[in-house]
Each structure stands twice: as C-alpha cells, then as structure tokens.
Structure 1
Amino acid sequence: MAYLVRGLPVDKNFRVYAVCCKEIVEEARRLQGLSPVASAALGRALAGVALLSADLKIGKVLLQIKGDGPLGEILAEGDYQGFLRGTVQNPHVYIDPINRKLPVGLAVGKKGFISVVKDLGLKEPYYGSVELISGEIAEDLAYYLTVSEQIPSAVSLGVLVDRDGTILAAGGFLVQKLPEATESELEEIEAKLKNFPPVTSLLSSGKTPEEILQMIFPNLQILEKRPLAWRCTCSEKRVEEVLIAMGRGELEGFLKEGKPVSVTCEFCKKTYHISLERVKELLKEVMDVS
C-alpha cells in the first residue's frame, strides 16, 4: 500500500516525512510505457511531490523538472488528499545502467531548473525555482527547499526497477530543520544521513516508512499516516476548456478539417473525442463572449 507518514522527533527539533509509493510509480509506468530510467526519474519526482504536499490542508503542489537531458520535462503533481499523478516528456528514453545503477542524473541533465508551484486556493499560486545542481532530483529538491524556501532540508528519493521494467520499490524521506535546532543536533543528523543506506535498499528489504524514520530518530512521534493513490483529474469538461482557451481561430480550423477533435491526456493516456457539433457549440460560446 502506498502511504505517507509525518512525524516529529520527541527530543530533536526537526520535522520528518517518509513515503512509499511503489504502486503509484508502477501505475505510471504501465499507463505511459516508461523506460526503466524514465520510471526511476518520474518515480523520484512522484515521491518528492508527495513529500512536498504532506502538510497541505487544501490545494495541490506541482513539481517541474526541466533539464537538458534526453528525458525532457518531468511533471509531478500531488494534492492535499494524497492523490498523485505525473508524466515525462520523452518516456521511452533508454540509457544503459552505469555500475548497475540507472543514470537518472544523466537522463535528466545537470543544466536546467527545478520549480515548485503551490496552489493553495489563494488569488495567486506560490512559485519558486532554482537551477538544477545534479539532475538526481533528491539533491536538487533539497537545494530548492534550502535556497528558495529557506528551510535547511535533507532529501532521499529512490526507485528500484526490476529487469522486466516493473517497479520493485519506490519512496523517499524528507528531514527539515526547525528554527530551534542547535548546531550540535544538526551535525548529529548530518553525520547519520551521510552513511545512511539507500532508501530503495531499505524499502525492498521490508522496512516501512515509519521504521526508516525511526532509524534516524529513535524517539519519533508519528503525527499522521496518509494513504496515497494515483489519480488523474482529466475530464471531457477540462478538454473543452482547453479548446475554448485556444480561441476562435483554432476552433474554426478544426471545423474546416471536418474531423472530430481527439485529445489524449499526457498523464493517463485517456483519449477524448469531441464531435464537430460540440466544436461548433464551443465556437459559439467563444464568439458570444467576444
């Protein structure tokens, strides 16, 4: 089962989160036909956005990674209910493992940006962005949180892909320093994390998110355990809204072609077919407004 835990160490001034999301990454792989390295990259992004959305009471978070590697743009979205979805611009990129590890940094690229958009139901969403430093995603996300949101953070993300491409393990954890944390507390945790096992090794050996956090903070109080699931929010209504936003010229062009309009969701790959009669109705709506 995919879920997230949020905790608070009793004797340390940190807030901590951990997630396991194998089933969600497997669903993304199945729907989009992801290559192993694309699965690893998108899986890290999905685990990352789950951690970013852990404290949401409303709204959603969008994580965008745009490097100069062959995968292109990676998008991952998580909301306050624990629903996740994500996509990769070039899902079929194949790169041979290096030292038995999928080269996510090479596939993402080291030049580019990692951006976070938080839609909290306010007038304007919050937007933050920093340059990529490695393309490995976890390191980039930690850098973003430390620099853009001014919260010293440690992030570990990982995806274990089987030889047949299926997902064996996926998840991660986030440790954030609270203002009350002392320098000695920070040094102690940094030393622990420096030699900490890869999160995929822990998950594939049967460790739960709670147990992983307790390895770092033995006196841990679990504040919340939240189920996670893949869910795409696409709909025919949203497709029609996109067509309306394209404007009169585009809609008239569709009518001249004389064929129903087909639109495929980049997240779940569901295809919507909009009839010519409906396109005429949408065009009328556009003309009535203008």
Structure 2
Amino acid sequence: MSFASNCPTQKSRNTVNDNHSSDDKNTSSSSNVPSSESFDGQSFDGKDTWVKCISTSGTLRGVAVRITGITRELAGLQKLSPAGSEALGEALLSGLLLASFSKVGERINLNVRSSGGVRQALVDAYPEGKVRGYVIETPDTAVTDYSKTGPWGEGTLSVLRTKEMERQQPYIGTVPLITGHLAKDLTFYWLQSEQVPSAVGLSIMMGEDGEVASAGGFIVQALPGASEKEIDDIQRHVEALGGAAGAVAAQGDPVQLLSKIFQDHAFFVLEEKELHWECNCSWERVDRALSLIGKEEVERLLVEGQAEVNCDFCTKSYIAGTERLEAILNRITAN
C-alpha cells in the first residue's frame, strides 16, 4: 500500500520545477505576496498554531501548522537572505511536524546537511509547541544549478529523538536527500524510518519587502486499517489543490486547510496549540562549551582578557571576563 508523497511546495525561489508527473508534484516559483493573511476571502487571526486531527474512522491523522511570525522573527535575528529565510522556515515546519506526534518530555532534533542554498539546518522542536532553529547559508558563489535537484541539493536528513527526563538511548534515523525538496524527503523519512505512509506539504512565501510573508505546512498519515479508498481520496484531494497548495498551506486557517484535504472524511480536532520559539542557551552551557576547548585555549583567552560566545539559534552574545575564565581554567586543571 502506498500513500501520496507528491504534495506541492510553492515558494519564492529562482528555480522552477515543471515536472508534474505523479512521482513529483513539487513546484517552485517566483512569487511575492502581501503580508495580510486570508483564506478563501475569510480573515484569519494570524497566530502561530498547529491543529491536530484524526478521522472518525481512526485510520487517518493530520496536522496543519502555521508559523509565519516565528519564521519571520528568527530569520530577522539571524539576518538571513530570502533563500536562507525560506530554508529556515521549511526546517522549522519540518521539526514541528515531527514533534507534533511526539510525547511530552521528548525532544526532536532535526539536522539537515545539504549541498544546496544552505549547508546545514538545525532545529529543536518539542510536543509542547516550542521550537528553535538556525541555518548556515552557502556562499552565493557556491550555489550553482538546481535543475537536476531541488533547492536543498544532495545530503542527509537526520532526526534524533531524545527523552529528556529519562536516561534512555536516543533514537536516530537518517535518510539521504533524494529529491532536494524537503517536503518529499521528509515523506521518505517517515516511510523509511518510521514505516508510516505520509503526505507532507511545506510552503514559505516572501513579501515584497524581502521578509517572510507566510509560512505553513501539513502532514497527513495513513494509520493501520486505512482503506485503499481513504488513501486514494486523500491523495486526490491533495493533488486537486494543485499549484495553490503552497498558498493554502501558508496563508490558511489550519482547520480549513485540513478540511480541504479530508473533505468528506469527517475528523475530530484533537488539539489546537499556540506555538512559540524559545532558546535554552545559558551561562551554564557557555561555561560547558568553554571547558571543552581545553586548557591552552582558555589560557590564551585569559591573556586576551575575555571570550565572546554567540548563540547560533537566537544570536545572543555572552562575554566571559577574566574572573569567569579563571574559574573555568581552575576546573579544567582540577580534573
């Protein structure tokens, strides 16, 4: 039994994938949209949320996510280019979609290593609805031709699942980036590592001001007992969204987006949660990082008089003075 993996992705990149075969419905297009949020002419309150649902038959489940505000704020803090902002948004959405099916107390770490517009994307996401993430952009001179692959290029997608309150061995699953489109490669991850047939859609749209105008996505999964008709119906509904799927995913009310995908398959809304970004950087983590660089390096920093440590996720800067460096050096020496 197979499930649709060809959910469209629409975003303002410079490349266009015109392959509309049943094996690849991902599309990329240059598109500027206004900052206002709407769905079929109806206003939406614009909060960053996810909505989780399950069909009344208990054989289909879905999640729709909207994180325009989170993506815009983090992209601004990290001073990303439009392409970097799009990549960050896709990575944040992917992490949250993964976390939405996790249990409280678990942490999802998504690590994408790429030959495309970004070298690496790292995301920490939690089922409580918090997320943080950053991307390392590829220099413009290194970005070449994406005609044979998606904007992420080649590389790997790894998901680390950690139970923070339990001393259990974390689970990690890694798959190659087959298409270079994160939505399709995340679908492949779900099937390969989790054995769950899924359909994933991710959409980031940029405004005329070069900032993120909308960011949203969805996942629908076939659970044990799903009939071929149910799977075919969902696949047909997703495909029927066509090139507008990206706009719908990014700009629409998550409940209405799920309604468009499920249509005549009734579902229960299990949870509607407001999402936020939160960084857990701290002086404790800074001290630990400085302790790991070794005695000689700390001594060199002492001669310089201070050490500056910047958080990649939230860009907060920590300045460790001589007193702090001496305390760290004493701990290193004592051990």
Relative to the length of structure 2, the TM-score reads 0.78
Match of 2:24 in 1: none
Q: 1:37 to 1:136 in 2, by over 3 A?
A: same
Match of 2:50 in 1: 4
1:170·1:200 contact (CA, 8 Å) conserved in 2?
Answer: no
Match of 1:44 in 2: 90
SS in 2 for 1:89: strand
Q: 1:10 to 1:93 in 2, by over 3 A?
A: farther
SS in 1 for 2:208: coil
SS in 1 for 2:116: coil
SS in 1 for 2:131: strand
**Residue 59 of structure 1: how far off its partner (Å):** 2.4
**Residue 12 of structure 1: how far off its partner (Å):** 5.8
Match of 1:83 in 2: 130
Distance in 2 of aligned mates of 1:168 and 1:106: 22
Partner amino acid, structure 1, of 2:236: A
Match of 1:224 in 2: 271
1:38·1:93 contact (CA, 8 Å) conserved in 2?
Answer: no
1:172·1:199 contact (CA, 8 Å) conserved in 2?
Answer: no
Q: What is the CA deviation profile of residues 1-57 of structure 1, one whole-angstrom value per residue up to 9, with x for unaligned ones?
A: 101111001136111111000000001111011111111111011111111111331
Unaligned ranges ≥5, structure 2:
1-46
Residues 76-115 of structure 1: pairs in structure 2 closer than 5 A: 76-90=123-137, 93=140, 106-109=150-153, 111-115=154-158
SS in 1 for 2:137: coil
Distance in 2 of aligned mates of 1:95 and 1:186: 41
Unaligned ranges ≥5, structure 1:
none
Coordinate RMSD, CA, aligned: 2.3
**Residue 278 of structure 1: how far off its partner (Å):** 0.7
2:202·2:249 contact (CA, 8 Å) conserved in 1?
Answer: no
Residues 164-243 of structure 1: pairs in structure 2 closer than 5 A: 164-197=209-242, 198-203=244-249, 207-218=252-263, 219-243=266-290
**Residue 286 of structure 1: how far off its partner (Å):** 1.9
Match of 1:258 in 2: 304
Q: What is the CA deviation profile of residues 120-163 of structure 1, one whole-angstrom value per residue up to 9, with x for unaligned ones?
A: 23422110000001222111111101111111111001111112
Distance in 2 of aligned mates of 1:188 and 1:95: 42
Match of 1:156 in 2: 201
* Count of aligned pairs between the two proteins: 281
**Residue 84 of structure 1: how far off its partner (Å):** 1.1
1:61·1:78 contact (CA, 8 Å) conserved in 2?
Answer: yes
**Residue 287 of structure 1: how far off its partner (Å):** 2.0
Q: What is the CA deviation profile of residues 244-280 of structure 1, one whole-angstrom value per residue up to 9, with x for unaligned ones?
A: 122323322322x422000111111111000111111
Match of 1:119 in 2: 162
Q: What is the CA deviation profile of residues 76-132 of structure 1, one whole-angstrom value per residue up to 9, with x for unaligned ones?
A: 221132111111112775999x9xxx99x65421x2101101112342211000000
SS in 2 for 1:195: helix
Distance in 2 of aligned mates of 1:92 and 1:149: 34
Partner amino acid, structure 2, of 1:108: W
Relative to the length of structure 1, the TM-score reads 0.90
Distance in 2 of aligned mates of 1:94 and 1:31: 23
SS in 2 for 1:140: helix
1:87·1:266 contact (CA, 8 Å) conserved in 2?
Answer: yes
2:124·2:132 contact (CA, 8 Å) conserved in 1?
Answer: yes
Residues 140-151 of structure 1: pairs in structure 2 closer than 5 A: 140-151=185-196
